[in-house]
Amino acid sequence: MNAQHWISHFEANTRLNHELQLPDSACDLPEHVRSALARSIAIFQLGESGGGTRLRRYTRSIASLENLKGYQRAVDLFVAEEQSHAALLSRTVTHLHGTLLQKQWTNSIFRWMRDLVNLEFNIQVLLTAELIAEVYFGLLSLRCSDPVVQTVAKKLLRDEMGHLSFQRDFLFERLKTLTPAVQRLWRWQFQAIHLVTACVVSWDHRACLLSLNITPSDFRARAVRCWQSFQSRLERRLREEESQARHEADSTPGYSRSSRATMQSPVS
């Protein structure tokens, strides 16, 4: 994993978020759109405002791995960028004359789930939220006419796309140590968790979606396509890695595929 690339990326991008100038215009959205949008964005703002305590605790446990050198620093900067998102969303909620939230039931469940198993599960739950966020901010940038909402949504959409690449790099490093059968099992449970999350979010944010002429079913369909795109890219990298390993094995005297299997280590 090229952690230095992500360190440089997050350092520069977080600074851009802090310096982002929002349009100086009053909100003139219809009341039913404004109120539903303010509540919806406030929920996402709460989700972005965490301090990354769980994630940082897990990353310390793998900081010494050779292929993840620098990952801990990259995660620290990733968390800082998430907090810059929270600040932008806070400004957006204020613009919409909404109220920031201190607690919300879906956010509480999400935080509880992230601490259930291990690092990979923590990353997976976080990744699921980012896949949902990519769809959400993409739709806001397309369907909401408010200039401030559009500006913030477009910036966060670009950032979330970067986050997905960052998480894909990490998962590739971890999943490539697993056999193809275990990789398929991981894929199935990841798909199930993502689908459940998309259903919950589409229901919880239905007032906002409907006010922008987006049906919950359309949101879920877009979320599924987003997951499929992410997963197909990840699996393509894993197949390329496996193909390269087979080629190296075939060209190495005295090396067998069975010996390679003994070298694989399970995800901790």
Tens-place pLDDT, residues 68-104: 888 889 999 999 999 999 999 999 999 999 999 988 8
pTM of this structure: 0.87
Confidence of residue 241 (pLDDT cuts 50, 70, 90): confident
Mean pLDDT across 52-61: 77
At how many degrees (to 10) do helices 105-114 and 119-143 cross?
Answer: 150
Name 25's Cβ contacts closer than 8 Å, sequence gap at least 6. 147, 148
Burial of 120 (C-beta count, 10 Å sphere; 0-12/13-18/19+): middle
What is the greatest pairwise CA distance in the chain? 73
Confidence of residue 246 (pLDDT cuts 50, 70, 90): confident
| DSSP of 209-266 | HHHTT--HHHHHHHHHHHHHHHHHHHHHHHHHHHHHHHHHHHTSTT--HHHHHHH---
Give, in order, the Cα–Cα distances in Å from 168 to each of 1, 35, 72.
10, 35, 16
Token pair in block for residue 187? 């894929």
Confidence of residue 257 (pLDDT cuts 50, 70, 90): very low
Asked if 152 contacts 85 with a C-beta cutoff of 8 angstroms, the reply is no
Domains of the chain: 31-245 (1.20.1260.10)
**pLDDT exceeds 80 at position 6:** yes
pLDDT of residue 254: 59
Residues 265, 248, 251, CA angle at the centre, nearest 5°? Answer: 135
pLDDT of residue 244: 83
pLDDT of residue 2: 87
pLDDT of residue 119: 66
In 10 A of CB 175, how many CB atoms? 19
262 vs 138 pLDDT, higher one: 138
